[in-house]
């Protein structure tokens, strides 16, 4: 198996549901190209128009399907990899809303046969830290993926619900502070969130999500959604973009 993660990093990911890759994820020319594309797309589509951005900006496919990126996820996803989604996530200085504690899997329920194996790369475009609302994770919470949710104030949060605080222990939260072009990887079921950006600095990142092709993506539950075969072969009869 090819891969850029060490055995210890893979073991941490399996155990804790996340790992930090504390070195450049992309070559400098590729990162500069990604950053420039982000700035162009942000100017064109705004902060709220950057989900599944690769559907509209095909230049991103050369980056997200590159050997550099796929070698990061293969050790934890496996050799047969599908591209699930990407999203430029940017929080403006002072006004960026909080991201409530949640599991990505709770938003994908019924769309994929299993949540196991879905991996998100969170690639920092700006420096991310506690002050500007870096992501935090609760290690080891990737064994379920479908917690109980309650409503939350949307004027202060980017989602309309959050995991029931009465059933959430945040005492061991780990805040993932990243330099530009460094990244974290997290499992699709892990509980995570982020504080509001109260700093004078933007917080921008690019999430790239992959799934093992042994998982079936249900077309009837994914109208208009596109997936790509990133590496290896399909194992579940999925339909991919060319």
| pLDDT band at residue 184 under the 50/70/90 scheme | very high
User: Confidence class of residue 46 from pLDDT cuts 50, 70 and 90?
Assistant: very high
DSSP string, 178-200: B-TT-EEEEETTS-EEE--B-SS
What pLDDT, on the 0 to 100 scale, is given for residue 1? 44
Domain boundaries, the chain: 7-231
Q: For residue range 6-39, list pLDDT tens digits in order.
A: 999 999 999 999 999 999 999 999 999 999 999 9
- Decide if pLDDT at 153 tops 80: yes
- C-alpha distances in angstroms, 4 versus 61, 74, 79, 87, 185? 20, 9, 13, 23, 12
**CATH superfamily of this structure's domain 7-231:** q2cbj1_9rhob like domain (2.60.120.620)
Whole-number Å distance between alpha carbons of 210 and 70: 9
pTM for the model: 0.97
List pLDDT tens digits, range 201-234.
Answer: 999 999 999 999 999 999 999 999 999 999 999 9
Work out whether the CA dihedral 145, 147, 150, 153 comes out positive or negative: negative
Strand 99-102 and strand 161-163: the pairing is: unpaired
- Confidence class for position 134, pLDDT limits 50, 70, 90: very high
**Given a cut of 60, is residue 139 above it in pLDDT?**
yes
Specify the pLDDT at position 96: 75
Q: What is the pLDDT of residues 59-106, one digit of tens each?
A: 999 999 999 999 999 999 999 999 999 999 999 999 879 999 999 999
């Amino acid at each position: 198996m090819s891969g850029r993660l060490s055995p210890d990093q893979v073991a941490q990911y399996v155990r804790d549901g996340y790992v930090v890759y504390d070195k450049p994820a992309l070559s400098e020319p590729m990162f500069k190209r990604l950053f420039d594309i982000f700035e162009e797309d942000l100017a064109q589509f705004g902060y709220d128009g950057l989900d599944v951005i690769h559907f509209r900006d095909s230049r991103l496919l050369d980056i997200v399907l590159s050997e550099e990126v796929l070698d990061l996820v293969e050790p934890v996803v496996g050799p047969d990899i599908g591209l699930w989604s990407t999203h430029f996530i940017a929080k403006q200085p002072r006004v960026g809303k909080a991201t409530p504690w949640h599991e990505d899997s709770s938003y994908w329920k019924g769309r994929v046969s299993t949540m196991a194996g879905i991996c998100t790369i969170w690639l920092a475009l700006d420096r991310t830290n506690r002050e500007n609302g870096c992501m935090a994770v609760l290690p080891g919470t990737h064994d379920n993926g479908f917690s109980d949710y309650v409503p939350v104030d949307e004027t202060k949060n980017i989602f309309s619900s959050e995991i029931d605080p009465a059933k959430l222990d945040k005492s061991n939260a780990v805040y993932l502070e990243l330099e530009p072009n460094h990244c974290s990887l997290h499992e699709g079921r892990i509980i995570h969130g982020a504080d509001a950006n109260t700093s004078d600095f933007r917080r921008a990142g690019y999430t790239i999500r992959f799934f093992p092709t042994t998982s079936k993506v249900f077309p009837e539950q994914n109208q208009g959604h596109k997936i790509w075969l990133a590496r290896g072969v399909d194992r579940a009869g999925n339909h991919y973009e060319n």
